[in-house]
Every structure is written in structure tokens, then in C-alpha cells.
């Protein structure tokens, strides 16, 4: 774990000392006018007014100090609104005012640190709990496990899970699902299924969330038959698939080019009155576009508003890429500029797809404009963007410009790919500059890239035609 600064350590020690000393103040469990005001503010989402009321009461040394339950309500309300820093500030004020926290308070504080990625601070609170008479419960352990999973520390998460069991704090569905999700996200599918066995041994049946998480992972690994079998098992166990389940299946089958199955799942979810979301539509639209079925993709796109679903950047990008690849630049252009009008921010994939389409159609002036816009908005080109520009220059016979793009690409820190070199070699072969093509081939091999069969064949053919049989 990362080292905590001395100042921070001293501050935490001070807090624990205050907690461990029994408060001399007398707190009432009955609601006071102060409690009522703060609770009303929390219930109506006027959280900053609740915080100000809380601060006012403490600064005024009012006899009407909020009860601990009201303080916990304020803390949890702030966390739900992603105002973790405000929650931590309120907690510090509580301790300074000698309002002694309970286990619920400390669990909220641990959750705040976990959500902001400060796992080490969360463990400082956790380590101090038992020393000061607090016994961590299932919520404490589950919150920390989720925090560890979020930052990818799976070994620590599994170790804490085992520690939880050894302390006879029984994991609940949330704990199991959190750890299974973390393992799946890190590609540890085997371990995730192993945890299912432990879950069953301890009397917990997998629920819809468990099944959906595992299906999503199997789909991402291309194990579609296993995912579908799991779906049948899920139905057999009486768990109804939800939008997450179907979206995972649709996305997985689309990525494998199995559109018939993806469509079947899409319409099955509609029959079950499960409303698709933007992610579902984007997955299916992307799959259709990759197979050149643009009319069907366009139809789904225009159907989305009728279901009160707003297309996002991923949806637009799938269509823009599809239209560009089919040479329908006008359609792609219309969608690209429509994004700005609807305040949908293009991402690097959107820009790259559109630039590629413009370059292929020889629209260099507009491509340069879009590239500058991309840079101005903080979207750095990736290898695919550079490859698109190199391919366009090679197609136009502007090989020196293509080489300059390669130099910029390397200078910025991008590693040229097989496609980069194959495109350049093909371009130089096309104009008969076999020396440069051979030089690039050698450079390509030295950098561990693999020429494709077409480039070898093109270069060999060129060398033969130029009476360089030994080199060929």
C-alpha cells in the first residue's frame, strides 16, 4: 500500500483519539428541530443547504445538535450524489464536535475513500476500527472489496474476502457479485466460476446480476455457445434476463458477425417488454454497419427517439464509420455535424472514422480541418488515425507526405503497426521506388512487424520486373 503522509497520519490519529474518548455531551435520540430541517433538505435533494444548516448548528454551539442518525443520513445522501469530499468534510466536523460515529458512519467514510480511489485511506479507517472497539461487518468488508476491485487489486480483494470468511462475517450476494465482476473484468473467468462453487456451498444461489456478469465476460471472450447455455440455465433457475443480459449477448454475437442471433435476442427482449437502452442499440447498429447493412442500421437509429432513447457518441460513430466504409460520405458528414448540433462530443474513434472517409474521397481540405478540430478539443490521434492519413497520401501518390506522417507518429510516441508499414511499402512499390520499399521492409522486420502476403508479392514482382532476381 502507498505511504500516507505524516500530516495525514497525525490527522487520522487525532480523529481516532476523539472517537475513542467517550463524549461528555448528552445527545438526544429524539428528533430535534435541527434534525427535521436537515432531513427535509436531504429528502428534497437540497444537500448544500443541509450542509450549511449542519455547519451553522455546530458553529453556533447550539443545544439542538443533530442526532447521529441525522448525521449519517446527511453523509449517505452526499455520497449518493457523488459529493464524497463534502461528506468527508462533514465527517471531520462531526468528530471535531465530539459527535461519536458508529459503524454506519465509518462504513460511509470507507465508501467515500473507496469511491475516490483512496484505498489506503479506507484501510487506515478499517485498521483503526477494531482497535477502538468497532467490529467490521459484511458491509465494511464488501465496500473494501469493491474498492479493491475498482482499482484492479484482485489478489488483495480475494485475500480480504478470505479474511472476511475467517472472521465469520458471511459474504452476501453483493459481496459475491462484486468479486465475480472484478475477476471477470480482469479476464479471470476461471476464478470467477470457481467463486460460484464457493457461493453455492455457502447457500447463496447466483442471481440475475451474477449470470449477466458471467455472460458478458463469456461474450467478450467470444465463447458465445457457453454464454447462451448460461442464459438457458438462468431461465431454468427462474431468473429473468434484463437489459444488461441481452445487451451483452447482442454485443457478443454482433462482434462475431452472427447478426441473425443478435437480432433474435433484440426482438426477444422487446417481446418480454424489456426496453433496450442506448448501449443495446449501439451494439446492434455497429454490428449491422460492419456487415454493410446500413439501411437496417439507419432504421434502428431513427427508431431510438420513438422509445425515448438518445443516441450517444458510440451510436453516431458506428453509423459514421459504416457510411464512410461504404463510400456514402454525404450521409457520414451529415451525422458528424449533427453531433455538434446536439451537443454530443465526438471521440477519437469518431474523428478517425470521419477523417478516413474524407481522405478516401480525396477531401483533404476538410480532413485537415477536422484533424485540427480534433486536436483543439484534446482528442489525440491514435495509430488508426495516422494509418488513415498515410493510406490517403499513398493512394494519391504523395509519398513524402506519407513519410512525414510516419515521422510525426513515431515522434509523438506511437508505434507503427503492420498496417502502417504494409501501406507504405505498397505505395512505394506502386511508383516503382523499390529501394525505399525494401528499406521499409527491413525496418518493419527489425521492429517486429509482419509484412502481409500482398506486400511480399508486390515487392517480389517489382524486383523481378526490374531485373533484380537475386533480391526477389
Per-residue pLDDT of 209-262, as tens digits, reads 888 899 889 988 889 899 888 888 888 888 888 899 999 999 999 999 999 999
Q: What is the pLDDT of residue 12?
A: 52
Count other Cβ atoms within 10 Å, centred on residue 83: 18
**Is residue 228 assigned to a domain?**
no
CB 259 within 8 A of CB 293: yes
Q: Which of 126-135, 203-212, 286-295 has the highest mean pLDDT?
A: 286-295
Q: What is the pLDDT of residues 147-159, one digit of tens each?
A: 999 998 999 999 9
Distance separating alpha carbons of residues 184 and 160, to the nearest angstrom: 18
Q: What is the pLDDT of residues 309-327, one digit of tens each?
A: 999 999 999 999 999 999 9
CB 54 within 8 A of CB 93: yes
* pLDDT band with cut points at 50, 70 and 90 for residue 32: low
CATH code, domain with 390:
1.25.40.10
The grid coordinates of residue 209 equal 446480476
**Is residue 334 assigned to a domain?**
no
Q: Give me the residue label for grid cell 483533404.
A: 364
Q: Which of 10-24, 105-119, 364-378 has the highest mean pLDDT?
A: 105-119
**Would you tell me the crossing angle of helices 6-20 and 84-96 to the nearest 10 degrees?**
50
**Is residue 126 assigned to a domain?**
no
**Is residue 395 assigned to a domain?**
yes
Whether residue 453 has pLDDT greater than 90: no
Supply the pTM of this predicted model: 0.71
Q: What is the pLDDT of residue 61?
A: 60
Q: What is the pLDDT of residue 131?
A: 74
Whether residue 100 has pLDDT greater than 90: no
Give the three-class secondary structure for 397: coil
The grid coordinates of residue 396 equal 494519391
**Is residue 256 assigned to a domain?**
no
**Is residue 10 assigned to a domain?**
no
| Stronger pLDDT, 443 or 244, i.e. the higher one | 244
Q: What is the pLDDT of residue 62?
A: 58
Q: What is the pLDDT of residue 320?
A: 95
Count other Cβ atoms within 10 Å, centred on residue 380: 11
Q: Give me the residue label for grid cell 469493491.
A: 146
Residue 274 per-residue DSSP state = P
Q: Is the dihedral of CA 354, 356, 359, 361 positive or negative?
A: negative
**Is residue 226 assigned to a domain?**
no
Which residue, 368, 385, 471, is CA-closest to 420? 385
Residue 93, classified by CB atoms within 10 Å of its CB into exposed (0-12), middle (13-18) or buried (19+), is middle
| Stronger pLDDT, 235 or 32, i.e. the higher one | 235
Mean pLDDT of the residues in the chain: 85
pLDDT, average across residues 276-287 = 95
Q: What DSSP string describes 79-146?
A: HHTT-HHHHHHHHHHHHHTT----HHHHHHHHHHHHHTT-HHHHHHHHHHHHHTT----HHHHHHHHH
**Is residue 410 assigned to a domain?**
yes
Domain limits at 420?
384-472
Q: Count the domains in the chain.
A: 1
Whether residue 1 has pLDDT greater than 80: no
* pLDDT band with cut points at 50, 70 and 90 for residue 4: very low
Q: What is the pLDDT of residue 425?
A: 85
Distance separating alpha carbons of residues 271 and 131, to the nearest angstrom: 56
Distance separating alpha carbons of residues 135 and 123, to the nearest angstrom: 14
Distance separating alpha carbons of residues 354 and 361, to the nearest angstrom: 11
| Stronger pLDDT, 408 or 7, i.e. the higher one | 408
Whether residue 24 has pLDDT greater than 70: no
* pLDDT band with cut points at 50, 70 and 90 for residue 25: very low
Amino acid at each position: 500500500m502507498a505511504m500516507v503522509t505524516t500530516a495525514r497520519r497525525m490527522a487520522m490519529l487525532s480523529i481516532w483519539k476523539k472517537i475513542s474518548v467517550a463524549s461528555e455531551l448528552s445527545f438526544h435520540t429524539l428528533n430535534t428541530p435541527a434534525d427535521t430541517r436537515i432531513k427535509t433538505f436531504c429528502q428534497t435533494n437540497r444537500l448544500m443547504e443541509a450542509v450549511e444548516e449542519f455547519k451553522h448548528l455546530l458553529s453556533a454551539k447550539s443545544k439542538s445538535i443533530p442526532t447521529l442518525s441525522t448525521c449519517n443520513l446527511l453523509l449517505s445522501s452526499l455520497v449518493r450524489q457523488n459529493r464524497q469530499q463534502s461528506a468527508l468534510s462533514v465527517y471531520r466536523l462531526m468528530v471535531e464536535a465530539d459527535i461519536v460515529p458508529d459503524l454506519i458512519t465509518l462504513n460511509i467514510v470507507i465508501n467515500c475513500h473507496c469511491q475516490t480511489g483512496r484505498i489506503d485511506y479506507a484501510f487506515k479507517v478499517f485498521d483503526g476500527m477494531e482497535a477502538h472497539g468497532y467490529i467490521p461487518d459484511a458491509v465494511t468488508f464488501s465496500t473494501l472489496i469493491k474498492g479493491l476491485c475498482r482499482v484492479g487489486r484482485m489478489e488483495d480483494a480475494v485475500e480480504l474476502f478470505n479474511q472476511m470468511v475467517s472472521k465469520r462475517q458471511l459474504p452476501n450476494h453483493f459481496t459475491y457479485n462484486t468479486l465475480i465482476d472484478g475477476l471477470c473484468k480482469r479476464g479471470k473467468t476461471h476464478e470467477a466460476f470457481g467463486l460460484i462453487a464457493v457461493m453455492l456451498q455457502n447457500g447463496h444461489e447466483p442471481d440475475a446480476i451474477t449470470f449477466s456478469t458471467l455472460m458478458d465476460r463469456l461474450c467478450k471472450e467470444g465463447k458465445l455457445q457457453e454464454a447462451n447455455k448460461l442464459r438457458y440455465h438462468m431461465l431454468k433457475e427462474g431468473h429473468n434476463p434484463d437489459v444488461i443480459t441481452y445487451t451483452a449477448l447482442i454485443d457478443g454475437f454482433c462482434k462475431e458477425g452472427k447478426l441473425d442471433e443478435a437480432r433474435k435476442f433484440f426482438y426477444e427482449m422487446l417481446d418480454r417488454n424489456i426496453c433496450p437502452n442506448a448501449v443495446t442499440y449501439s451494439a446492434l447498429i455497429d454490428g449491422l454497419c460492419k456487415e454493410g447493412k446500413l439501411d437496417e442500421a439507419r432504421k434502428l437509429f431513427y427508431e431510438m427517439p420513438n422509445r425515448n432513447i438518445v443516441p450517444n457518441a458510440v451510436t453516431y460513430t458506428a453509423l459514421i464509420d459504416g457510411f464512410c466504409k461504404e463510400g456514402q460520405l454525404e450521409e457520414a458528414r451529415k451525422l458528424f455535424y449533427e453531433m455538434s448540433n446536439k451537443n454530443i462530443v465526438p471521440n477519437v474513434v469518431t474523428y478517425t472514422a470521419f477523417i478516413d472517409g474524407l481522405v478516401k474521397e480525396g477531401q483533404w481540405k476538410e480532413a485537415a480541418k477536422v484533424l485540427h478540430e480534433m486536436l483543439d478539443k484534446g482528442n489525440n490521434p491514435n495509430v488508426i488515425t495516422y494509418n488513415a492519413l498515410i493510406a490517403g497520401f499513398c493512394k494519391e501518390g504523395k509519398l513524402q507526405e506519407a513519410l512525414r506522417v510516419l515521422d510525426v507518429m513515431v515522434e509523438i510516441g506511437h508505434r507503427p503497426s503492420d498496417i502502417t508499414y504494409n501501406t507504405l511499402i505498397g505505395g512505394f512499390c506502386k511508383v516503382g521506388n523499390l529501394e525505399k520499399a525494401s528499406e521499409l521492409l527491413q525496418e518493419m522486420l527489425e521492429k517486429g512487424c509482419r509484412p502481409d502476403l500482398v506486400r511480399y508479392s508486390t515487392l517480389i514482382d517489382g524486383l523481378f520486373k526490374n531485373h533484380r532476381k537475386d533480391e526477389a
